[in-house]
């Protein structure tokens, strides 16, 4: 496990950041708490013995201090359009792996575009979207392909029992909407495109216990960046249950509320991934609880595998390219129920 290695968590006091800190501690790592609000850091650190190192993305020296002596950094502070590049730069200066939990499509695409060459030349590991959106669908699709690296199309359908957004989700959504200028992003013909039509509605027949649900077709999530980054799939489409899609953008939707001792909400999810090539269809399914909380075991498992040399690439890499996808998913069995094709 962590062997008391130090991992800096930037944005440690945020909703997802707190889950990541707790998971690091449970796995034997020593979290260093960082972020721009010194008061929130001190309150979070009180009684834990963890270090608190305030830092801001417009002060490189403060980021260098936050990462000093760390074995890796996990960025949990959105909007990642603002934070990813400065923290990646600091990680490259420190010579340590960088991981983030960004669901922002453009921010993830920017990371691949801006840092692929530099990270590869440095032999560094940079992992964007190591979270519920981006990583889990990528791992499922990669495992479903069972060693194949190409398919005609991939479909990632999300069924959420509810979607009560965090403050970070709302801020990130606002930044993405501003960048899109009223359009929406899709992945068609092998590239990201912006379109200005309304997404269509349809039904998706999810595995049990969900069954048929109305979904928003092309409710595009970070999977359209992570899957094509290493798989030859010209059409990648993601879907969201319509009720959850409406809830996440409603101004009066409440924030997540803890429903158990670990702070998880009562939200449940099913992810149904279908990859098709010719007349062949392969399916992988994941079920679990709380999309924000489940990000913590995902990203901490990734840190552990990177620091113990269980990786398949250097440079900017998605979860499906970097790790043995099936083995990684099996390692999440305490948190996610997974069904893979035989």
Residue 285's nearest CA partner among 203, 205, 206, 202 is 206
Residue 332 lies in a domain: no
Domain containing residue 270: CATH number: 3.30.360.10
Residue 331 lies in a domain: no
Return the pLDDT at 139.
Answer: 98
Return the pLDDT at 182.
Answer: 86
Domain containing residue 44: CATH number: 3.40.50.720
- Alpha-carbon gap, residue 263 to 267, rounded angstroms: 12
284, 140 contact by CB (below 8 A): yes
Residues 191 and 99 in one domain: no
Residue 106 lies in a domain: yes
Query: Helix (H, G, I), strand (E, B), or coil: what is residue 293?
Result: coil
- Alpha-carbon gap, residue 53 to 38, rounded angstroms: 8
Residue 69 lies in a domain: yes
Q: Is the pLDDT of residue 127 over 80?
A: yes
Given pLDDT bands bounded at 50, 70 and 90, which one contains residue 187? very high
Residues 59 and 171 in one domain: no
- Alpha-carbon gap, residue 168 to 184, rounded angstroms: 20
Residue 339 lies in a domain: no
Residues 178 and 282 in one domain: yes
Q: Is the pLDDT of residue 54 over 90?
A: yes
Q: Is the dihedral of CA 139, 20, 177, 126 positive or negative?
A: negative
Residues 269 and 168 in one domain: yes
Number of domains in the chain: 2
Residues 18 and 82 in one domain: yes
Return the pLDDT at 135.
Answer: 98
Residues 272 and 308 in one domain: no
Query: Helix (H, G, I), strand (E, B), or coil: what is residue 32?
Result: strand
Residue 91 lies in a domain: yes
- Alpha-carbon gap, residue 200 to 83, rounded angstroms: 33
pLDDT mean across residues, the chain = 97
Return the pLDDT at 209.
Answer: 93
Residues 146 and 285 in one domain: yes
Residue position matching structure tokens 């708490």: 33
Residue position matching structure tokens 């490189």: 60
Residues 216 and 242 in one domain: yes
Lookup: tokens for 289: 């609880």
Residues 308 and 283 in one domain: no
Q: Is the pLDDT of residue 33 over 70?
A: yes
Q: Is the pLDDT of residue 249 over 70?
A: yes
Residue 265's nearest CA partner among 160, 158, 131 is 160
Alpha-carbon separation of residue 311 from 98, 155, 176, 289, 324 (angstroms)? 14, 26, 31, 27, 8
Query: Helix (H, G, I), strand (E, B), or coil: what is residue 223?
Result: helix
Residue 247 lies in a domain: yes
Residue 79 lies in a domain: yes
Can you tell me the mean pLDDT for 76-95? 98
Q: Is the pLDDT of residue 1 over 70?
A: no
Alpha-carbon separation of residue 74 from 26, 295, 299 (angstroms)? 16, 12, 8
The domain of 154 spans 141-290
Residues 170 and 251 in one domain: yes
Helix 105-122 vs helix 167-180: crossing angle, to nearest 10: 90
The DSSP result for 32-76, as a single string, is EEEES-HHHHHHHHTTT--EEEE--TT-HHHHHHHHTT-SEEEE-
Given pLDDT bands bounded at 50, 70 and 90, which one contains residue 87? very high
Specify which residues 187 forms β-bridges with: 192, 236
Pairing between β-strand 191-195 and β-strand 184-188 as defined by DSSP bridges: antiparallel
| Range in 44-48, 63-67, 88-92, 121-125 with the lowest mean pLDDT | 44-48
Can you tell me the mean pLDDT for 169-187? 93
Q: Is the pLDDT of residue 137 over 70?
A: yes
Q: Counting Cβ atoms within 10 Å, is residue 324 exposed (0-12), middle (13-18) or buried (19+)?
A: middle
Specify which residues 98 forms β-bridges with: 73, 126
- Alpha-carbon gap, residue 289 to 135, rounded angstroms: 16
Residue position matching structure tokens 């950041």: 17
Q: Is the pLDDT of residue 5 over 80?
A: yes
| pTM metric for this prediction | 0.97
Return the pLDDT at 230.
Answer: 98
Q: Is the pLDDT of residue 2 over 90?
A: no
Return the pLDDT at 3.
Answer: 80
Residues 286 and 205 in one domain: yes
Given pLDDT bands bounded at 50, 70 and 90, which one contains residue 49? confident
Residues 156 and 125 in one domain: no
Return the pLDDT at 342.
Answer: 82
Q: Is the dihedral of CA 288, 289, 292, 296 positive or negative?
A: negative
Residue position matching structure tokens 């440690």: 12
């Amino acid at each position: 496990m962590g062997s008391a290695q130090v991992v800096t968590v930037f944005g440690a006091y945020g909703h997802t950041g707190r889950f990541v800190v707790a998971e690091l501690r449970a796995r034997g790592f020593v979290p260093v708490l960082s972020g721009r609000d010194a008061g929130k850091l001190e309150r979070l650190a009180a009684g834990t013995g963890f270090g608190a190192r305030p830092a801001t993305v417009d002060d490189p020296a403060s980021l260098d201090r936050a990462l000093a002596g760390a074995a890796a950094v996990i960025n949990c502070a959105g909007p990642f359009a603002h934070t990813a590049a400065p923290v990646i730069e600091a990680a490259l200066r420190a010579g340590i792996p960088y991981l983030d939990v960004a669901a922002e499509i453009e921010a993830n695409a920017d990371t691949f575009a801006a840092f692929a060459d530099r990270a590869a030349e440095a032999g560094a590991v940079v992992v964007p979207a190591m979270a519920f959106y981006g990583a889990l669908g990528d791992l499922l699709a990669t495992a479903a392909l069972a060693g194949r690296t190409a398919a005609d199309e991939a479909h990632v359908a999300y069924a959420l029992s509810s979607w009560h957004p965090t403050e970070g989700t709302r801020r990130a959504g606002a930044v993405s909407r501003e960048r899109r200028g009223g359009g929406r992003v899709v992945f068609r013909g092998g590239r990201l495109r912006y379109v200005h039509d309304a997404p269509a509605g349809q039904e998706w027949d999810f595995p049990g216990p969900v069954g048929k649900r109305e979904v928003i077709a092309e409710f595009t999530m970070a999977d359209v960046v992570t899957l094509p980054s290493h798989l030859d799939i010209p059409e990648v489409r993601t879907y969201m249950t319509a009720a959850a899609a409406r809830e996440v953008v409603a101004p009066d939707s409440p924030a997540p509320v803890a429903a158990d001792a670990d702070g998880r909400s009562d939200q449940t999810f099913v992810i149904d991934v279908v990859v098709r090539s010719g007349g062949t269809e392969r399916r992988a399914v994941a079920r679990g609880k709380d999309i924000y909380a489940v990000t913590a075991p995902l990203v901490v498992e990734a840190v552990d595998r990177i620091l113990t040399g269980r990786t398949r690439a250097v440079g900017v890499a998605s979860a499906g390219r970097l790790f043995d996808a099936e083995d990684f998913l099996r390692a999440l069995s305490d948190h996610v129920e997974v069904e893979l094709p035989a």
